[in-house]
Amino acid sequence: MIDPIILFFLLGAVAGLLRSELRLPAAIYEFVSIVLLLAIGLKGGVELAKQPFASLLPQMLTVVAMGFGLTLLAFPVLRYLGRFKRADAASIAAHYGSVSVGTYAVAVAYLGSQQISFEEHMPLLLVLLEVPAILVGIVLARGLSRQTRWKSIAHEVFLGKGIVLLLGGLLIGWVAGPDGLSSIEPLFVDLFKGILALFLLEMGLIMATQMGSLRRHGPFLVVFGIVMPLFSALVGTWLGWSLGLSIGGTTILATLAASASYIAVPAAMRISVPEANPTLSLAGALGITFPFNVLLGIPLYHALAVWAHTFAKG
């Protein structure tokens, strides 16, 4: 059976494509986003307190290196095969080297529905993966120029809403522990899938608005928006297996690698690379990659993780 949260996404997509009057009020969408980000951070923070920080360091460094590497790999493909302008190629590459919180949340819900456990410190890796691609994208677009507004970029990256809420949730969960959070579980735990369903309804509506941009910019972005996540998922699967993650943890890491940012990176690129066309990046990330990952990708990445662990056992 199809998970109900996926049906919410499809409802939004169909309503948007049919030009329905359905809209999620801006204040509601803001509230849903805040609850979703805090819920992810809180759960990760509780589990983070259970293990020594030093044991996580190899995974943290690997994820940062993956963010750099995927961005550097995507750029020449976009620049020379896609024939995008340098600024546009760098911006799109940064989106695909970063991470989507919404896709992560869907992967968590998917594993939960399959009763598959995973390492609960994954929100920490989610936060770390936001940053490297942004830095690489800026350097690829502009070089190491004195004119680059690094102070504004740092403020947007590290004090943006998404990072503050995720890190804040991690810290609160780490300090309070499971007993301290029991009083707020009805909102942040029990209602998680309901909140996620509303979030995906809005994502479906937003995705529908990107269809016109995809028609204008040709088939290459469509192909890239599917092939790049598949390649990135293979990298994430291999790294997850190499790091000794569980099947669930490997699935999450593959999903993180395969996702494309549509919150933190667009904001940073708007400041640092204003000449880049944001429509191209968002059309690929929201119009192609997000629905592909939500509808087909996550089950496929889980199958890859199962295969990798089975193959490793001989």
Q: What are the 10-residue block averages of pLDDT along the chain, 314 residues in total?
A: 84 91 90 89 82 85 96 96 92 94 93 92 87 88 69 72 83 89 91 91 86 74 95 97 95 97 81 84 89 95 95 71
Answer yes or no: are the C-beta atoms of 253 and 120 closer than 8 Å: no
Secondary structure tally for the chain: helices H, strands E: 17, 0
- Cα–Cα distance measured from residue 297 to residue 206, given in angstroms and rounded to the nearest whole number: 19
Answer yes or no: are the C-beta atoms of 206 and 286 closer than 8 Å: yes
What does the angle CA 177 – CA 240 – CA 158 come to, to the nearest 5 degrees? Answer: 55
* 247: CATH: 1.20.1530.20
* φ/ψ of residue 114, rounded to 5: -95, 0
pLDDT, residue 46, reads: 84
pLDDT, residue 157, reads: 66
Rg of the chain in Å (alpha carbons): 19
> Residue 126 belongs to what domain range?
4-18+25-312
Looking at the structure of the chain, the number of domains it has is 1
pTM of the model: 0.85
Residue type, 2: I
pLDDT, residue 217, reads: 67
What is the distance, to the nearest Å, from the Cα of residue 140 to the centroid of all Cα atoms in its chain? 21
